[in-house]
Structures are given as structure tokens and as C-alpha cells.
Structure 1
Amino acid sequence: MSRNKDRVPRIQSILVTLNNHVREMKIMNTKQKLNQSASTVMRQCMALQPHEQLLIVSNIETTEIAQALFSAGESIAPDTRWIVYPTGNINGEEPPSWVAEALKCADVVVAPTQKSISHTRARREACEKYKTRIATLPGITTDSFIRGLSADYDAIAKISERVYQALASHKIANITSSSGTRLTIELGNKPIQSIGQINTPGAFSNLPDGESELAPTNANGTLVVDCCGQLITEPTRITINDGNITDIEKTASGQRFETLIRSSEKQDGNANARFIAEFAIGTNPNAKLSGNLLEDEKVLGTCHIAFGDNTSYPGGINESVLHIDTIVKSPTIYLDDLLIMEEGRLLI
């Protein structure tokens, strides 16, 4: 009997050791995948060269990913630098002036930040005037970073090209969904492709990538948002007239969304945050709906409609501190009379 009692502590000790070993293996595996994805960013997406100056821009919350990116970059370009600044309040808020200046001085910038600087004057000026090429990774998580950047970007480019050509050759998009979306969008402006190739002076995209998008000229109807990061977590109806939000359903999610819109209007001094900014179709087969908006908007089988700033897109003239994407799951999409997506299945 006493012998059996003696065995129990030993067995428990062995189990603890095994559990610790498994945990360590998982951590090592995650770190290895993180480093592989960081290498993909530098070598494949940014095409970083040894003579270039690389700048990593991050917040405290994204330190782990920033560290992996810094190490991957420094192994290629010795002049690699890393700055950390306090997290902003909303997506689209201008970074501090010293960060804006730093963006202009680098050849290449990779910015894993909590809040997006994609649609800011600082980012646009660095790209357009100083020809910095920039990748932003707003709200990035370790899982999304690993998953989204392990995709076959050659395959993403082919899918994106087909969607791009369809958008470029049609005038009207009609979008419906099982959750209640009935929305007509006037396409108007030239589309672009975001395929993870940020390798020319002044180029910009966010990562992980995979979408074809444009700045619409108008929209009317009902948009039922299935998700929008942690902001909208239940289907929420938004009414759009002449391109502007005129009503938001009074769900808990809807009230959070309304609060964000009103806060942005206050900062803008106008109602530009209510204007439709972007229509896009996700083209990344590896991305999955995870609650991380950066990844969610890239999921193949979804589309997204953004509100607020669209001056980063060809023909976009709506300026706002806000750019917020809203996701429609498994939509059916007609471009004029061409059915390109049926309940989330791409047909082109």
C-alpha cells in the first residue's frame, strides 16, 4: 500500500515534466513560425535590400511581432531601426509628429501597430513625397501573422487579378446576404489589388494581404454587418442613402459603432466618417474569420464595406480620421449582370 502511495508523487512529477516539455515545444514551434513569417515579409513582400534603411514602428502590445520583424530585417539590412510609440485611440489617428518624420527618412517601413496608420496623412506623405515603401499591420496578432503570411501569394495574386478585372469592367455591384444585406454600390473609380508585393518606391499595402478594392462613388440600401473586429460582434443593420449612413440598428454592437462614428465626426468637424469609403473582396484562402479585422477582411468568401477616409484609393476624395471596415460573410455579388460570387463561393 505504501509503495503505491510513493508512486503517486512520482507519476505526478512525470506528468508535470511532460506538460512543461509540451508547452516549451509549442512555444518553440510558434517562435519558429513567427520568424518564418517575418522572413516572408522582408524577403518576399518588401524585397528588402542590404543597402536600405529599414524602420520597424510598433506599440508595446505588438512587441513580439516587432522583435521578429526586426531580427528578420537586420539579417538582411544592417541599418535596421525600431521605434515604439504609445497606442493611438482609433484607427486612422495621426501618429506623433516624430513618428511621421521617421517614416519619411527610411527606405522601408513595417508597422505592426494596435491602431491603423494606413489611412493617415503621415503614411501618405511618406509614400507619395518621400517614396518610402510601407507595410502596415494594424491590430495584428501572432496567430493572424503566422496564418496570413504562410499563404501562397502567387495564388492570391491570380485570384486578386480576376476580381480586379471584374471590378474594372463593370459599373454597379449588387450585394445580398442571408443575414439581410441588400446593397447597391456604384463602382466608378479604378480598383487596385493588394497582393503582398510592396517592392517599388512609394508602394503601400497592409499585411497579411489579399484583396481587390476600390473607392465607390455612391451606395444605397441595407448593409447587415456580420462582424467588425471586436466592435460589431452580432449582425447589425446599417441603412445607407446616397453613400451616407443614415441609420444604425440599436443593437449593442450598433451603439458601439454609432459612438465611434460620432467621435470621429467630432474630430473631423463634419460628417465624412459616415460616407462609404471602400468596397473590397477578400482573396486570401489561408485567412479565416478570427475577430481580427486585419485578417477578417482578407478572407476569401467575404466582402467588406468601409466608412470614412478613402483618400488612399484612386479617385477617393473623402477625408476623415476614421477608416473602418465592416465584414459581410458569404455574400452573393453581381457586377452588373455578371454573378461573380454566390453565397461566398467565387465564380470567376
Structure 2
Amino acid sequence: MSLTEFEDFLYGACLRDWDAEAERMAKIKERFDRASEVRIVGAGTDLTVSLEGREGEVDAGHANLPGGEVYYSPVEDATEGVVHFSEFPAFSEPYELESVRMVYRGGRVVEASAARGEDVLFETLDRDEGARVLGELGIGCNTGIQRYMRNTLFDEKIDGTVHLAIGAGFPALGGKNESVVHWDMVKDLRPGGQLLCDGEVVQENGRWLI
């Protein structure tokens, strides 16, 4: 990527009409706030997360730039299923992991694998008691970001993606899980993915239906 291309990317990601973006994301938040259960379906992925009694937060560029996500601390003991981060690497400085896959039962990671960096994955999962619990569900909403940049601050905001963080939750959002770990991994739902709220498809192939 040339400097000019990076400038165009950066301005497109950050110089948004954030008032309009906040209004758009508030509608997404309102639908997810009403959901007891969110199901994430994609390549190698079928994961169910409970948001019962949890309210989300909109990042509309006030806390950091770029903004562009709605995020939650899920119910700690209710995550079930499998997620495969097959599209993008997972970064834990200075390490880059490929094809991370995790199976959740009763809210905890019970199986895990990675095509590269598996030792780092297991070391992190075993860091403390809370490291195997899902601490965050984030929903990317920034339509100005369409390409992967290998920088989580940007990548987790891509419209049509979700990011899931193992470890610490957000107490301000009702999160109770404590851990020294908070590791975001990005899942691309644009190629054939779905987001469902209480069984209703609200996003398909990365396109919002609400």
C-alpha cells in the first residue's frame, strides 16, 4: 500500500459523519439489546452467545478513532458452539496466529487449535481462570473500512465482521469476568455469514437487514 493509498484509507475510516453513524449504530444496538440470544454463523463457525440482561455500547468515534462498532459483554456461562477465525490472523504482539479455532461449552473454551502459534494460544488460554471465558462480542459497523489492515484497531471495525475477545469483560456493560487477558479476534461474515437475534436473521453476507 502506497502512502497515498494509506491516506485515503485512513481518511475514509476516520472522517465520517459521526452523528449520522451514531444514529445508524443506535438502531443496530437497539435490536441487539432486545435479543436474549445471538447466533453467529460463518465458515467453520456456529456460535451462540447470550446477551440476556446485557446492554451494549456504541463506539461512534468519541473514545477512539476510527469508531464504528457496537459491543457487549456476554453472559459468562452461556456461550456455546464453535468459532473458526479462518479469514484473518489473530495478533498477540509479537505473535501472529493463523486459523484459530475454539469450541465453547458452558461459556468456556474446552477445545482450541491453531495452524500456527498454537503454543501461544494455549499459553494465553491458561493464563488465569477467566482467560477461557468470552469477555466481548463486538459488531463491526464502519462502512469506510473494507480491507484488512493487520491492525486490530481498524480491523475490528470492518462492517460485516464480528470480533470476539477471550478474557476480561466490561464491568460498565454488566461484564463479570475478570482476567489479565483481553484478546480480540476478528471473524469476517461477508462471505456467506449470518447474524441472528433470537432466530431472526439481522445480517447476511455482511449486509444489514434491519
Shorter-chain TM-score: what band? 0.7 to 0.9
CA distance in 1, matches of 2:202, 2:163: 15
Counterpart mapping for 1:261-280 below 5 A: 261-262=125-126, 265=127, 270-280=128-138
Output aligned runs, 1:287-326, within 5 Å: 287=145, 288-326=147-185
Q: TM-score, normalised by structure 2?
A: 0.84
**Shift, 1:145, TM fit:** 5.0
Name the count of aligned residue pairs.
198
1:158 aligns with 2:23: yes
CA contact (8 A) 1:232 1:254 kept: no
Which residue number in structure 1 is paired with residue 71 of structure 2?
A: 213
C-alpha root-mean-square deviation of aligned residues, in Å? 2.4
1:1-348 matches, within 5 Å, as: 146-177=11-42, 179-188=43-52, 189-197=54-62, 205-217=63-75, 218-226=78-86, 227=88, 228-229=90-91, 231=95, 233-262=97-126, 265=127, 270-287=128-145, 288-330=147-189, 331-348=193-210
Q: Distance in 2 between matches of 1:257 and 1:324?
A: 10
- 1 or 2, which has the higher helix percentage? 1
Task: Tell me if the contact between 1:167 and 1:335 (Cα under 8 Å) persists in the aligned partners.
Answer: yes
Instruction: Note the C-alpha offset of 1:149.
Output: 1.3
Aligned to 1:96: none
SS at the partner of 2:173?
Answer: coil
Q: What's the offset of the Cα at 1:208?
A: 1.4
Equivalents in 2 of 1:250, 1:193: separation in Å? 31
- State how far apart, in whole Å, the 2-side matches of 1:155 and 1:290 are: 25
**TM-score calculated relative to the size of structure 1:** 0.52
Q: Per the alignment, do residues 151 and 235 of structure 1 end up closer, same or farther by CA in structure 2, a change over 3 Å counting?
A: farther
Deviation per residue, 1:96-117 (Å, 9 max, x gap): xxxxxxxxxxxxxxxxxxxxxx
CA contact (8 A) 1:214 1:313 kept: no
C-alpha change, 1:347 and 1:271, in structure 2 (3 Å) is: same
Q: For structure 1, list consecutive stretches of 5 or more residues without a partner in the other structure.
A: 1-22, 34-142, 198-204
User: Aligned-pair distance for 1:186?
Assistant: 0.7
Question: How far apart in 2 are the matches of 1:299 and 1:196?
Answer: 14
DSSP 3-state at the match of 1:170: coil
Shift of 1:158: 2.7
Determine which structure has more spread, i.e. the larger CA radius of gyration.
1
Secondary structure at 1:159 match in 2:
helix
Q: Aligned partners of 1:306, 1:261: CA distance in 2, in Å?
A: 11
